[in-house]
Amino acid sequence: MAAQRADGGLGSRSPAGFRGIRDTVSGRSALLVIGVLVLQTAFVLSCVGAFRDPTAHRVPLAVTAPTTEIADNAFYRLALLHGEPVDPRRVADEAAARRQIRDREVDGALLLSPRGGDADLLLVAGGAGPSLAEELAGRVATAEERYGRTVRVQDVVPFAPGDARSVSSFSLVVGWCGGGMLCAWALAFGGGGRQGGARRTPVAMGVLVLYSVVAGLLGALVAGPLLHAVPGSFWALWGIGALLVLAVGALTFALHELIGVPAVAAALALLVVVVLGVPSAGGVYATELLPAFWRTIGPALPPGAGLDAARSVAYFGGNGAAGALWTLAAWAAGGVAAALLCRIPALRAGAPSGRVRRTP
């Protein structure tokens, strides 16, 4: 009797339990869960693929020597290194080599003397990425050792104590990117997105610009005067932060306007900024140490351009930041333009919603 009641109880409750699961997890919810799983796996794949084997590839290296013979031998030694880790460039003297490092034209400089022993000197720039300086020092030391020479390493642009291994700079950039995405989502979803009216988009863009200015200011204040983590010009960091937040926010909002499906638009924004942009930004390892795919896309995406510009301001007086700033400006202008252009048909038709109503 007890066994029968137990079986009957299970049998009577089981269909209701399955119905509850079916009612709770709809087809749309299942698709969203699957999409989240795909994005998570893609992020893991991107990070592991980018960081599993950091190897220098054609890192610009200035070489100066007192005689042509010594310079030719140095170029030969460096050219023999497996995988072309460095790209040697002959310069006139030490002053020229140091100037090129400060201008971000090269990432290091090898100063050769007529004698062997400990006379050779390698100048590196830790501010451009400690991992890059360490990899460069190891590669050059290997080349020097093959010919009985040793090399001393001098960091001429060391990273700040509060920015050990560029973690603070990278965290600041990631925070700015996250803020831009969240603000765009709040404006899109809170304002109704494509259903919120054609005239809401210009207002949303104005709010996003204002938010970007404030977010850049607060980020620069925290990383600079408040915590003394990221050095460099406070005003320049503020400008970079505002431009980066606007670029990411405009991209995110534009995707929502173009696609109209919130989940798909959010997934694409995460794919571009987080899945692809964060691992290739050069935070954990400098861009020059990443595999070809991430090394190529990194400088072209907002996180990579933002980190490059922030490092240029923090450690190199702004030298070398122009390309990164133009990249951020292109993302920002393109995102704003795309979002506004999506509303032109509705504005012309005078429709209250984002869709143009057609009559048969």
Task: Check: CB of residue 278 under 8 Å from CB of residue 174.
Answer: yes
Beta-carbon count within 10 A of 227 CB: 12
Strand order in the sheet with 86-90: 86-90, 59-64, 108-111, 117-124, 149-155
Contact yes or no for 90/63 (Cβ under 8 A): yes
Look at 110-114, 162-166, 317-321 and tell me which has the smallest mean pLDDT.
Answer: 110-114
What pLDDT shows up at residue 11?
Answer: 47
Tens digit of pLDDT for each residue in 24-78? Answer: 666 777 888 898 999 999 999 999 999 998 898 999 999 998 777 777 777 777 8
Residue 348 has pLDDT above 70, yes or no: no
pLDDT at 2: 47
Q: Which two tokens stand for residue 236?
A: 């320049």
269 neighbors 39 (Cβ within 8 angstroms): no
The length of the chain, given as a count of residues: 360
* pLDDT confidence bin for 197, thresholds 50/70/90: low
Please report, as a single letter, which amino acid is at residue 336. V
What is the average pLDDT score of the chain?
Answer: 85
Predicted local confidence at residue 142, as pLDDT: 85
pLDDT, one tens digit per residue, over 84-105 is 889 998 998 999 999 999 999 9
C-alpha R_g of the chain = 27
Q: What is the DSSP string of 149-200?
A: EEEEEEESSPPPGGGGGGHHHHHHHHHHHHHHHHHHHHHHHHTTGGGS-TTH
Give me the residue spans of the domains in the chain: 59-158, 162-349
How big is the CA angle at 181 (ends 291 and 229), to the nearest 5 degrees?
70
Give SS3 for 83: coil
- Helix or strand run (H / E) with residue 121: strand 117-124
Residue 19: per-residue pLDDT: 58
- The single-letter code of the amino acid at 195 is Q
Amino acid present at 317: G
pLDDT at 78: 82
**Alpha-carbon gap, residue 11 to 32, rounded angstroms:** 31
Please tell me the distance from the alpha carbon of residue 41 to that of residue 322, in angstroms, as a whole number. 34
Helix or strand or coil: residue 353? coil
Is 333 a residue whose pLDDT tops 70?
Answer: yes
**Rounded to whole angstroms, how far apart are CA atoms 348 and 199?**
11
CATH placement of domain 59-158: 3.40.190
Asked whether 313 and 321 are in contact (CB, 8 A), the reply is yes
pLDDT at 356 (0 to 100): 41
Task: Give exposure, 322-344, as e/b (b: 16+ Cβ within 10 Å).
Answer: eebbebbeebbeebbebbbebbe
274-308 confidence digits (pLDDT tens): 999 999 999 889 999 999 999 999 999 999 999 99
Residue listed under structure tokens 């173009």? 258
What does the alpha-carbon distance between residue 253 and residue 60 come to, in Å, rounded to a whole number?
Answer: 38
Burial class (CB in 10 A: 0-12, 13-18, 19+), 159: buried
- Say how far apart CA 29 and CA 185 lie, in whole Å: 19
- Which of 127-136, 208-217, 342-351 is the least confident region? 342-351
Query: DSSP label at 39?
Result: H
- What tokens does 115 get? 């004698």
Which is nearest to 75 in space by CA: 64, 118, 264? 64
**pLDDT band for position 210 (50/70/90)?**
very high
pLDDT attached to residue 357: 41
